[in-house]
Amino acid sequence: MSKAVKIACVLVLVVICIIVTAGFVIRSGKKGNPSPESINMGSAGSMGPMPPGAHTSEQPESKEAKSPANTVSVDDLGLAPSNGPVKSFAITAEVMKKAGQSELWTYNGTVPGPEIRVTEGDHVHVTLINHLPVPTSIHWHGIAVPNRSDGVAGLTQDAVKPGQSYTYDFIAAEPGTYWYHSHTNTFEQEPRGLFAALIIEPRNRSHYDHDYTLVYFDDYNKSQTAGQIVWQRIQQSFGREVPPPVMVNGKEEEELEAARGQTVRVRIINASAGDMQGTPLRIVPLGAPFQVVALDGHDIHKPQTLSSEVLSIGQGQRYDLVITVPSSGIVGVVNAFSGQAASIGQGNLSIPKNLNDLPTFDLTSSGVPVLSALAPDARFDANYTVTLGSKPGFRFGQIELIHTMNGGAFPDSPTLVVEKGQMVHVRLENKSAEYHPIHLHGHVLTVLRVNDRPVTGSPVRQDTVLVYPHQTADVAFVADNPGLWMMHCHVLIHANFGMDMMVVYPNISTPYTIGTKSGNFPD
Ligand code: C2O
Ligand code: CU
């Protein structure tokens, strides 16, 4: 680039950054009336079923509450009777203030909160007790819960007021690595500490010597000022990715035990809020060959043994690894940007420079294919395209970097209507220079194609699919869980700036509303 072009670029960026920062500062200042008064997101009465092959539905004419007689309320979409063993948990959301640290919001007094470990088939019963000064709710990320237990404020429940409680019920159906977090003002509440791991162990216990969880999240002691975000944005625009510092299990570095020859399962959860660019976590397993055995809780069929690859893990995603401690006595899970390590075993872990230059793990060719109805060449009952964009503009009377799905920002983004039993194909087209890990509630997405390259290995099933800047991802799911569900970017600032939409089944009503009247804000 010539110097003049560079300077021009910087100027344009500075202006964008100022707009973004202004939006950011104004929003965090909580002045004015940032959101609509009352919006009802029910599908009842406002939308009919979509013909196969149709694209995005029309906006419903009115989003005011309507509940014609032939509708089902989200409150009635609870758990069917089960005879699974009941496992009950109590989670108290509370404030924690330690000298010299920023005030944290915690589940049961720790950040991350307590790991919930259950067994496949268990009936999980969790009571959230709110001791925070603000309303809150819990979302069970990646679990196909019944709609009424999805934890989305203003959609499936009213946010739980201070001093009150709410009980969630679901079946731990598919073993794997999941997590839970606040879904009320998520943008603020999750980074303050309201998140934790949720592990479903297989009924037939697996044979690993150790089973560790690594929860990555933003370093709340180094939280970013608006100025730092601007500077980061400028650097990123020149191809220098400088993600904010992360902590692993609440520490700078983690040390875990294992002896030579032992096999360790490592469950990596990216619970970070993400930066403006949505830069994924980049992790390199070092010291021994490893396998990626599961993505977002779903097993890879016959995974290969790998070495020297970067795992690019978007916000909300999980990667499960299996690694055997070699004769050196130590292996590590290393952050490719910073060299920050979680070490397993004892000894000296040598961390090469330029880890970030290693090739990235390719999920389209990992493992071995198995027959699956949701194959790249399958015929689908409905095909949708969802474009992901961002542009500076006005929203709720404020300047912000608006993030859109099919041109609209939540709650004015178009809705996808699906019918029970349909096989639905969604093409995600990222028209922006940012990363967007797109998360669908209540269902599992199967990745068909990444940037038009079909998946040739094991089926890839994820609840959060990372769409790279200016790339596409074709995904599919079976509509088997009636309700009102969100689909949104898991970069929390992108979601807060509008990158959310609804995936709904026809004729479902909700008694809850989003807006200042109810105080329910999902993102
Ligand atoms: Cu993990 Cu709607 O979010
Ligand atoms: Cu995004």
3-state secondary structure 428-454: EEECCCCCEEEEECCCCEEEEEECCEE
- Long-range contacts at 343-348 (CB < 8 A, ≥ 24 apart): 343/253, 343/254, 343/255, 343/256, 344/210, 344/212, 344/256, 344/257, 344/258, 344/264, 344/266, 345/256, 345/257, 345/258, 345/259, 345/260
Distance separating alpha carbons of residues 437 and 465, to the nearest angstrom:
5
Give 322-345 pLDDT, tens digit per residue.
Answer: 999 999 999 999 999 999 999 999
The alpha carbon of 98 and the centre of ligand 1 are apart by a number of angstroms equal to: 28
Find the largest Cα–Cα distance for the chain. Answer: 70
3-class secondary-structure state, position 279 = coil
What is the structure's pLDDT at 74? 95
Give 486-512 pLDDT, tens digit per residue.
Answer: 999 999 999 999 999 999 999 999 999
Distance separating alpha carbons of residues 104 and 190, to the nearest angstrom:
10
Residues of the chain with pLDDT under 50: 1, 22-23, 25-33, 48-66
265 lines ligand 1 (CB under 6 A): no
What is the structure's pLDDT at 151? 98
269 lines ligand 1 (CB under 6 A): no
Distances (CA, A) of 182 to 91, 150, 488, 522: 12, 11, 15, 9
425 lines ligand 1 (CB under 6 A): no
The alpha carbon of 403 and the centre of ligand 2 are apart by a number of angstroms equal to: 8
The closest residue, in CA terms, to atom 1 on ligand 1 is 141
What is the structure's pLDDT at 49? 39
488 lines ligand 1 (CB under 6 A): yes
Near ion ligand 2, which residues have CB within 5 Å?
278, 436, 489, 491, 494
What is the structure's pLDDT at 82? 84
The alpha carbon of 51 and the centre of ligand 2 are apart by a number of angstroms equal to: 29
Which numbered ligand comes closest to the C-alpha of 155?
1
Closest ligand 1 atom to residue 141 Cα is 1
Closest ligand 1 atom to residue 179 Cα is 1
Give 375-413 pLDDT, tens digit per residue.
Answer: 999 999 999 999 999 998 888 877 889 999 999 999 999
139 lines ligand 1 (CB under 6 A): yes
Q: Which of 174, 196, 197 is nearest to 122 (CA)?
A: 174
The alpha carbon of 136 and the centre of ligand 2 are apart by a number of angstroms equal to: 23
The alpha carbon of 327 and the centre of ligand 1 are apart by a number of angstroms equal to: 41
What pTM did the predictor assign?
A: 0.90
What is the structure's pLDDT at 361? 98
Contact yes or no for 489/314 (Cβ under 8 A): no
Q: Which 3-state string (H, E, C) describes 169-228?
A: EEECCCCEEEEEEECCCHHHHCCCCCEEEEEEECCCCCCCCEEEEEEEEECHHHCCCHHH
Rounded to the nearest 10 degrees, what angle do helices 3-29 and 226-237 cross at?
A: 150
The closest residue, in CA terms, to atom 3 on ligand 1 is 141
Closest ligand 1 atom to residue 142 Cα is 1
The alpha carbon of 419 and the centre of ligand 2 are apart by a number of angstroms equal to: 27
- CA-CA-CA-CA torsion sign (80, 86, 90, 93): negative
318 lines ligand 1 (CB under 6 A): no
What is the structure's pLDDT at 9? 53
Other Cβ atoms less than 10 A from the Cβ of 485: the count is 24
Other Cβ atoms less than 10 A from the Cβ of 98: the count is 8
What is the structure's pLDDT at 438? 98
- CA-CA-CA-CA torsion sign (449, 450, 452, 453): negative
Strand partners for 124: 87, 170
The alpha carbon of 495 and the centre of ligand 2 are apart by a number of angstroms equal to: 7
The alpha carbon of 220 and the centre of ligand 2 are apart by a number of angstroms equal to: 21
Distance separating alpha carbons of residues 268 and 281, to the nearest angstrom:
10
Contact yes or no for 440/477 (Cβ under 8 A): yes
494 lines ligand 1 (CB under 6 A): no
For the record, the structure tokens of 77 come out as 């979409």
Sheet holding 311-313, edge to edge: 254-256, 341-345, 330-335, 281-286, 311-313
The alpha carbon of 43 and the centre of ligand 2 are apart by a number of angstroms equal to: 25
Which numbered ligand comes closest to the C-alpha of 198?
1
| Residue 360, CB-side half-sphere exposure with 13 Å CA sphere | 11
At which residue do the structure tokens 């007790």 appear? 129
